[in-house]
Structure 1
């Protein structure tokens, strides 16, 4: 939802299907990085969708929040944070899912709403969809 002041409330839903056992170690932990003062993130839900359709929720103890910066970077990135989601009981054929909400308050481009996604070439996406909705103004 894009607000008249060009800030936005962004809800993301990410689903990653584990196709091979070799992908489990990498995909069974997902990380969301953010800056607490600029674009705080709220994790709304996280779960494993088993291949038979069952849902296994991520326990709150498997959601870790930590400082993302270390060493000298702490001087200029004090509010950099990372949420790590550790999914339970992941097997090939399962899907790991999370939903998050971000309040994006500043744009690097005056007068424009800006949001970017980085998708590595090594990733394979069946669907990547972005929709926007503007509120009054």
Structure 2
């Protein structure tokens, strides 16, 4: 339950951790929708699984086949539990997909509508980024 003037925010991101060197931000999303955050995570997991190929993407593909896992992930995120999926490639680079509650943002009416949302304006606003 959110308080007056606040809405929940959810974040999802993909970070690569090379065996040596600093982590690399491969993109992310900030959204008012937990379903959208998990969907973004699943889309990026599918892309990473395809790029890594067999056998490294096998765990990703197994997770993606489970429709019940998607609904459970959304429920867990709403309950405040972060989600994480980690894949390691042949070179030892670790790819971490994470979705988590991002706290509360100010700017909503009592009914939870985003301030500024109205006729012709989307109810859900989000920001996404991808690394170059």
Mark yes or no: TM-score above 0.5. no
User: Larger % of helix: which?
Assistant: 2
TM-score, normalised to structure 1, is 0.30
TM-score, normalised to structure 2, is 0.30
User: Larger % of strand: which?
Assistant: 1
